[in-house]
Amino acid sequence: MHLDHVGIATDDVDGLASLYRWLLDAPVAHEERFDGMQICFLALGNGYLELLEPVEEGPISRYLDRNGPGVHHLAFATDDIEGALAVAVEGGIEPIDEEPRPGAWGHDVAFLHPRDTGGVLIEFVAHEE
């Protein structure tokens, strides 16, 4: 397993993408509108920044209302998402997703509750080849 991306909630995905493209020399790797969000992945070495802007009411808009813009989650790539989720559950970590579900960029994802992971929302991302 390795760090796949850092998810950042923002109310201006285009502006933040422009800043990070300039500041970090991070080109756009993928953009899409998915699940009520405008999403932009910026490539950084072996991982990505995932910028998330709500375009309708949902988890990211609620997050922004509560916390403002900033780091939303850490995502870890795995070639066995079901196994990673099972290990977490067996270890007493509450899943947000009982089983993997469709996520951005066509990957299956599963989230773990931050109250059991040191206050950090953790996402598993399936990268089966």
Distance CA 113, CA 116 (A): 6
Number of Cβ atoms within 10 Å of the Cβ of 56: 9
Residue 22 belongs to a domain with what CATH number? Answer: 3.10.180.10
Closest C-alpha to 109, from 54, 45, 34, 40: 34
Distance CA 44, CA 120 (A): 21
Domain of 89, in residue numbers: 2-126
pLDDT bucket at 127, cuts 50 / 70 / 90: confident
Number of domains in the chain: 1
Q: Could you report the per-residue pLDDT of 55-103, keeping only the tens digit for each?
A: 999 999 999 999 999 999 999 999 999 999 999 999 999 999 999 999 9
Residue 128: the pLDDT is 64
